[in-house]
Amino acid sequence: MPRPVAVVTGASRGIGRATALRLSSDYDIVAVARSRGELDSLAAEIAGRGGACRSCVLDITDPGAVAAALADVDAQVLVNNAGIGYLKPLLELTRDEWTRMVDVNFTALFDVTRALLPRMIVRQSGHVVVIGSIAGRSAFVGGTCYAGTKHAVMAFTECLMLEVRDAGVKVSVVSPGSVSTHFGSGSSKSWALAAEDVASAVAQVLATPPTVLIHRLEVRTLTAPKKS
């Protein structure tokens, strides 16, 4: 019997890569990002573990490319993970940085989710997980746009959940605190969560019984950054 398919955006590194690896024991993976080399290395690692992963080289801010690339994909799971952060005060933020954050973190949810949701509804089964952030319910200096997009993600996920739950489709948001990845400045955060910790939370959200939904999950580390 064919295995169910999980599409993971932003799978070339960080949380998305760890999530693709984690889910590859139960799902065939469609790994989405712009970096072919990193996607192919992920696919090779998953194949080495006995799984299956297809590289899908795609800029999720290109609506036509998203529709074409995902047209034939029948996904049981979609992990909307790709995200970017230019974390700086409003007066230092360029218009281009603002627009790129809105396009990747929020507007791409429209295109990627709409490409895959119809088949979930027809099948009366599926699960859309979005990687949010603690910044989706709080404020910090340098977060005018980034936190704004993540607040929008919280609204998107709750509204979508209410729209599609009667069609048997689950919608969840997993909101991490700081995670040690290339995100933002890419500076080392040894005290932070590992990408694998967030991947594990995604796997737990997916593993609930058919009648149970974890809609919001916040994941934090127990260690805090040292105040300088």
Contact call for residue 23 and ligand NJP (CB under 6 A): no
Closer CB to ligand NJP, 96 or 166, in the complex: 96
Q: Is 194 in the site for ligand NJP (CB under 6 A)?
A: no
Q: Residue 81 interacts with ligand NJP (CB under 6 A)? A: yes
The CA distance from 193 to 28, in Å, is 26
Cβ closest to ligand NJP, residue 12 vs residue 76: 12
* Shortest distance (Å) from residue 226 CB to ligand NJP: 17
Is-contact 195 14, C-beta < 8 A?
yes
Backbone angles phi, psi at 12, to 5 degrees: -75, -20
Among 60, 66, 120, 169, binds ligand NJP (CB under 6 A): 60
* Buried b / exposed e along 138-174 (16+ C-beta atoms within 10 A): eeeebbbbbbbbbbbbbebbeebbeebeeeebbbbbb
Structure tokens at 16: 């998305």
By CB under 6 A, residue 151 contacts ligand NJP: no
The single residue among 21, 70, 82, 206 that binds ligand NJP, judged by CB under 6 A, is 82
Distance between CA atoms of residues 87 and 128, nearest Å: 27
Residue 180: CB atoms within 10 Å: 18
Cβ-based nearer residue to ligand NJP, 161 or 201: 201
Q: Is 27 among the residues known to form the active site?
A: no
Asked if 200 is part of the footprint of ligand NJP (rule: CB under 6 A), the reply reads no
What's the N-to-C CA distance of the chain in angstroms?
56
Q: What is the DSSP letter of 105?
A: I
CB of 61 to ligand NJP, least distance (A): 5
> Residue from 22, 51, 78, 83 that binds ligand NJP (CB under 6 A)?
83
Tell me which residues are annotated as active site.
146
Residues that bind ligand NJP (CB under 6 A): 9-16, 33-35, 38, 59-61, 81-85, 104, 131, 133-135, 176-179, 181-183
